[in-house]
Chain A
């Protein structure tokens, strides 16, 4: 057996940096966090997490803060740049070199792509990327993998459909990349103009079997995981085109009767109308469980980079 990957003191910037062994280890540690998320723990007592959110993302911040609290640690930081030195024109590199003195781990969210990578370069303490520009968001991809593993027992052997905006969606790129570390069949289902970016497609299709399609209806019976994403109106020059595709990716309970019995429906939330409310009460719906798994996953990641797990 190869030695376990070491994460103490490391940054979590991109899933592209993680090997399959690394991902598996993170998911294993997350598993051990589930009871602690319920009972509470003092595993990270005395540790401080700083959240540097240069753009608002209340959900992500709450998830990290809750994860830290449940492990007995504390949090400080800002959730918007109003009233901070950033508003006075301070650059990210300086902000990082100031705030790192107050904390043991930095959670960075920033409108510029590559911001977390740069923050990690300047920081002496671990940096966790909570979203940089249109770029990926590694803890989201990891919690998605964790959800699949929990629901199906294994990620290998699953047929995963990524549906909706595959071009601009922040989450699907890193998820596709992370999934390509496993033995999966990947179905990329999107309107023509929102197809998966070429560079992501090239990389992913080198590792796993990929099929692109515009029709969810046709492929639904083949999917174990139905990963829905929001299609934004702003992406379309022609509104009639939007109305047409919008309807074709609207998942309802009735539609799901044609899906595999044990298939699961996931969504990074917030949803608009791509998953109908009547899906919530079916056994397929996993999107609220995803939120819980996000919490335990982030507990696991914090414990790992702070050297407690």
Chain B
């Protein structure tokens, strides 16, 4: 699909972030993870089940006047491993990165195991080793519990 027809779905933005190639059906999860619910006042556009250049379905999210921080990019990688982040400045793509899940994830999510020592007020950061990115499978460094995509999503919807 050509660039111009893509813009039929979501128009160009002046400044902000375009998150492209989100796994189809996960645009709202991405917004949830970023803590964006529309009340912040940014213009947010969402396109779901858009046909990509490879003719498979994807979601797109555009957030005006807001650039993502690196920690936020890691969070997106947890649920949309193929996503790309385009930082837009004055209608131009200033930076383009593909999200990449680090081998070890520290601090951004909690262990889903309520009996895990990392949930007990000890002076440690939750820590996970990523065993598979798509579909997500990671293991708590402390209790060895396996966490999958649903476990991650649950934390943001709780």
| Chain A interface (Cβ < 8 Å from any Cβ of B) | 14, 16, 91-93, 110-115, 117-118, 121, 132-135, 199
CA distance A16 to B146 in the complex (A): 14
- A115 x B117 contact (CB < 8 A): yes
Beyond A132-B117, A133-B115, is A114–B144 a contact (Cβ under 8 Å)?
Answer: yes
Contacts of A14 in B (CB 8 A): 144
Beyond A91-B123, A93-B124, A121-B124, is A114–B146 a contact (Cβ under 8 Å)?
Answer: no
Per-residue A-contact encoding for B104-128, CB less than 8 Å = 1, 0 else: 0000000101011110111110000
Contacts of B118 in A (CB 8 A): 114, 118
Beyond A133-B115, A134-B115, is A114–B121 a contact (Cβ under 8 Å)?
Answer: no
- B122 x A91 contact (CB < 8 A): yes
- CB contacts between A and B, total, < 8 Å: 55
- B146 x A113 contact (CB < 8 A): no
- A93 x B122 contact (CB < 8 A): yes
Closest to B148 in A: A199
- A133 x B122 contact (CB < 8 A): no
CA distance A199 to B118 in the complex (A): 20
The secondary-structure label for the interface of chain A is: mixed
Contacts of A113 in B (CB 8 A): 113, 115-117, 142-145
Contacts of B141 in A (CB 8 A): 114, 117
- A117 x B117 contact (CB < 8 A): yes
Task: Check B140 for interface membership: any CB of A closer than 8 A.
Answer: yes
CA distance A134 to B143 in the complex (A): 9
CA distance A112 to B119 in the complex (A): 9
Beyond A118-B142, A133-B143, is A112–B116 a contact (Cβ under 8 Å)?
Answer: yes
CA distance A134 to B117 in the complex (A): 12
Closest to A116 in B: B117
CA distance A132 to B121 in the complex (A): 16
A141 to chain B, nearest CB (A): 14
- Offer 24 A-B interface pairs, CB within 8 angstroms, sorted by A: A91-B120, A91-B122, A110-B117, A111-B115, A112-B115, A112-B120, A113-B113, A113-B115, A113-B143, A114-B118, A114-B141, A114-B142, A114-B143, A117-B117, A117-B141, A117-B142, A117-B143, A118-B122, A118-B124, A121-B124, A132-B117, A133-B115, A133-B143, A199-B146
CA distance A115 to B111 in the complex (A): 14
- B123 x A114 contact (CB < 8 A): no
A196 to chain B, nearest CB (A): 14
- B143 x A135 contact (CB < 8 A): yes
Contacts of B111 in A (CB 8 A): 114
CA distance A250 to B88 in the complex (A): 69
Contacts of A112 in B (CB 8 A): 115-117, 120, 143
Contacts of A199 in B (CB 8 A): 146
Contacts of A93 in B (CB 8 A): 122-124
Contacts of B117 in A (CB 8 A): 92, 110, 112-115, 117-118, 132
CA distance A115 to B116 in the complex (A): 8
By CB atoms of chain A within 10 A, which of B111, B116, B140, B145 has the most?
B116
Contacts of A118 in B (CB 8 A): 117-118, 122, 124, 142
Contacts of A132 in B (CB 8 A): 117, 143
In the A-B complex, the 4 residue pairs with the smallest Cβ-Cβ separation, listed nearest first, are A114-B142, A114-B143, A113-B143, A114-B117
CA distance A111 to B136 in the complex (A): 29
A217 to chain B, nearest CB (A): 33
Contacts of B116 in A (CB 8 A): 112-114
Per-residue A-contact encoding for B133-153, CB less than 8 Å = 1, 0 else: 000000011111110000000
CA distance A10 to B122 in the complex (A): 23
CA distance A199 to B140 in the complex (A): 13
CA distance A309 to B111 in the complex (A): 38
- B113 x A92 contact (CB < 8 A): no
Closest to A113 in B: B143
- A16 x B122 contact (CB < 8 A): no
Closest to A199 in B: B146
Contacts of B146 in A (CB 8 A): 199
CA distance A118 to B116 in the complex (A): 10
CA distance A134 to B115 in the complex (A): 9
Contacts of A121 in B (CB 8 A): 124
CA distance A110 to B145 in the complex (A): 17
Contacts of A117 in B (CB 8 A): 117, 141-143
CA distance A214 to B57 in the complex (A): 43
